[in-house]
Copies of this chain bind each other. A is one copy, B any other.
Amino acid sequence: MNSDGPKSVIGVDLGGTTIKAGVVSAGGSILYQNKFPTLADRGPAVVVQQIATAIRDAIKQAGRTGTEGIGIGAPGVVDDEGVVKAPPNFADWDVVPLKLEISKLFRGTLIGVENDANAAAIAESKFGAGVDHPNFLFVIWGTGVGGGIILDRKIFRGPTGGAGEIGHISIDYKGPQCNCGNVGCVEAFVGQRYLSQRSAQKLQNHPESRILQLVGGDFSKIEPVYISQAAHEGDSVAREMLIEAGELLGVGLASVMNIMDLRVSIIGGGISAAGDFVMQAVQESVIRHVLKPLRNEIRVLPAKLGNNAGLLGAAGLVM
């Protein structure tokens, strides 16, 4: 890692469960990557410290090449000043000036903060599955469900930077309560909490499921990433769960396609690694639910940059 080449930047992907920080080269390669727990249930001060710890570790690894800047992708609404507002699943976090807080801890370093899904959408548009699609909806499907909208190869941030919150489209006005206050949100149906609960229910009758092996028999440790992995390995309960969830996600995506006149969805996040059958379930559902003129052109594609999109897009903010 020690070289006299061009300086690299630090990209940070702030998730509801883990923080990943990485050293990214000017060419878009990840030279080093770490992972720390977010501790989102302990409030903003603790989360900021965890972010700082992850950044310091990455800077140390960047070594003599130095750091040009730090880019952070964060959940929730991020305004033009890098203020992060009400990220779902983060306790006691109303409005936090994250850019300012991190600037205080790393004085003299360029800091960029963007919504995590927007950051990942930019990365997919430039380097990933969106290269051939000037207009698409990017979806992060993991702990929560986030989105970023690419129009004419640029991010659509909306009037105040909050656009793309597709996880909080209600697909059932009588549906389950979501953390955001709304009911029947896409996220309330296909996000971590619901998927984990549904899995735990189903697994009562399927002790042989690979999901249970992956979490060491501990129901409380079930996360979409394990369901995804089990499905990838052929587990039938996991596949069934994800197909069901994919169909519900498709209902919400169809609404976005209708509203914004889009045809292409690119799906990243923990679930996207499960396999083509999930993408197919989502795509079939979108086709069933969009307006006729859009149907023939609907495509649902897996993200190409995988879990690295958030980190690469974050780094891209300060390149």
Contacts and interface: CB of A to CB of B under 8 A. Distances in A.
A263 B182 CA distance: 16
B291 A158 contact: no
Given A157-B261, A261-B157, A255 B291 contact: no
Interface residues of A, number: 52
B292 A173 contact: no
A166 interface: yes
B173 A251 contact: yes
Contacts of A161: 261
Nearest to A182: B289
A146 to B, nearest CB: 11
Contacts of A76: 293
A262 interface: yes
Given A248-B173, A261-B158, A255 B168 contact: yes
A151 B158 CA distance: 8
> How many copies are assembled?
2
Given A254-B170, A288-B181, A294 B162 contact: yes
Contacts of A165: 258-259, 261, 291
Contact of A261 (B160, B170, B182): B160
A135 B159 contact: yes
A296 to B, nearest CB: 12
Nearest to A250: B173
> Most B CB atoms within 10 A — which of A157, A182, A258, A289?
A258
A30 interface: no
Nearest to A261: B158
Contacts of A168: 255, 258, 291
A66 B166 CA distance: 49
A260 B261 contact: no
Nearest to A158: B261
Given A86-B292, A172-B173, A293-B77, A259 B181 contact: no
Contacts of A258: 162, 165-166, 168-169
Contact of A255 (B164, B169, B288): B169
Contact of A260 (B95, B135, B254, B259): B259
A125 to B, nearest CB: 14
14 contacts: A159-B261, A159-B263, A162-B261, A163-B261, A168-B291, A169-B255, A170-B251, A170-B254, A170-B289, A171-B172, A173-B248, A180-B292, A181-B291, A182-B288
Interface of A: 76-77, 85-86, 94-95, 134-135, 147, 149, 151-152, 157-166, 168-174, 180-184, 248, 251, 254-256, 258-263, 288-294
Given A134-B159, A163-B260, 5 more contacts: A85-B293, A86-B292, A164-B261, A172-B173, A256-B259
